[in-house]
Amino acid sequence: MLSVLIPVYNYDVTELVNELHKQLTTSEVDFEIKIFDDGSKSDINKVNHKLNQLEKVQFKELPKNVGLSNNRNYLASSSQYNYLLFLDGDSLITNTNFITNYLGNISSNLDILYGGRIHPEFVKSKNQKLRWKYGRFIEDKSAKKRSGNTYKTLMFNNTLIKKECFNTILFESSLTEYGHEDTLFAYQAYLHNLKVLHIDNPVLHGDIDENYVFISKTEKGIKNLLSIYNSQKIDVQFVKVLVYFKKLEKFKLKFLFATLFTLSQRLMKSQLNSSNPSLFLFNLYKLCYMCFYDTNKRKKH
């Protein structure tokens, strides 16, 4: 029936897995829980290995780091059931009916169910404010709001999908760094006309990145996005930052924004690392970095 698949890197998933195991056991469906650590070589894996003592649970360490896309593909290929529930390792289950909500919405004419994600009401450290604010005000959307833009709001931090549909698409194996693997999968789901239902069944984002980590991950994501776009694997209109990027190219303003990044990146990072980071500035930072990276990459070639 249901394979719960959890890619993880250097993170204790005990609380998440114990709650899932309790709910799945109570539901009396056939299930398995698989957790693959992506070659972190972390001491935390000693704790995670204890999860193998639970019935129908497998924790495994991959011998080397393969990236999130490949880890998800490996998890799916090792699964035995016809429905796959993908959850990020840093998720927390706050609803005792979490599994029941998914099982109750499974239908033969649906291919994907997305439950969404929420962030805590506040974080104490200003060093986490950027990631928290972006999650709280950009990512956290009700099912009704997500349904207004079905594919563009589809992520894989909390997603149930038919295995046959997943195998039709798979995650892009060339993406070994962080960022936009979900975007490309969602675009492929759109091209394949997969039937998606958004529901209010969120997980809580339990591990809020510090600002500098989130900025670094964002830069890696921009590189991935440009790689996807330059390989003609995604349409410009599917991603807002690409729309603006192409407009700058059209009006020959890309070099200007690349220069702006060079001159002001320290100032922008300082503001983004403050107790009240600007999401407008964060979007500008992403656009300027895209211009900077693309311009310098072309120079090297």
181 and 33 together in one domain: yes
Show the DSSP H helices in 88-210 as ranges.
98-105, 129-134, 143-147, 163-169, 181-191
Final residue in a domain of this structure, among 207, 229, 251: 207
Is it the case that residue 272 has pLDDT exceeding 90?
A: yes
* Residue 262 and residue 195 share a domain: no
Q: What is the pTM of this model?
A: 0.94
- Identify whether the C-beta of residue 63 lies closer than 8 Å to the C-beta of residue 34: no
Q: Are residues 130 and 272 in the same domain?
A: no
Question: In the chain, pLDDT over 90 holds for what percent of residues?
Answer: 94
Q: 178 falls in which pLDDT band (50, 70, 90)?
A: confident
* Closest CA relative to residue 268, chosen from 227, 207, 218, 208: 218
Same domain, yes or no: 164 and 68: yes
User: At which of 182, 207, 232 does a domain end?
Assistant: 207
Domain ranges, residue 251:
212-300
Buried residues in 103-121 as b, exposed as e (16+ CB within 10 A): beeeeeebbbbbbbbbbee
Mean pLDDT value across the chain = 95
For residue 298, name the pLDDT band (cuts at 50, 70, 90): low
The per-residue pLDDT for range 141-154, each reduced to its tens digit, is 999 999 999 999 99
- 95 and 174 housed in the same domain: yes
Pairing state of beta strands 2-8 and 31-37?
Answer: parallel
3-state secondary structure of 185: helix
Residue 161 has pLDDT above 80, yes or no: yes
Cβ neighbors of 295 (< 8 A, separation 6 or more) are 254, 255, 258
148 and 218 both lie in a single domain = no
Q: Could you tell me the CA-to-CA distances from 111 to 2, 140, 166 in Å, in that order?
A: 14, 22, 9
Check residue 209 and report its DSSP letter: P
- Residues whose CB is less than 8 angstroms from the CB of residue 126 and which lie 6 or more positions away in sequence, other chains included: 273, 274, 275
Q: How many distinct structural domains can be found in the chain?
A: 2
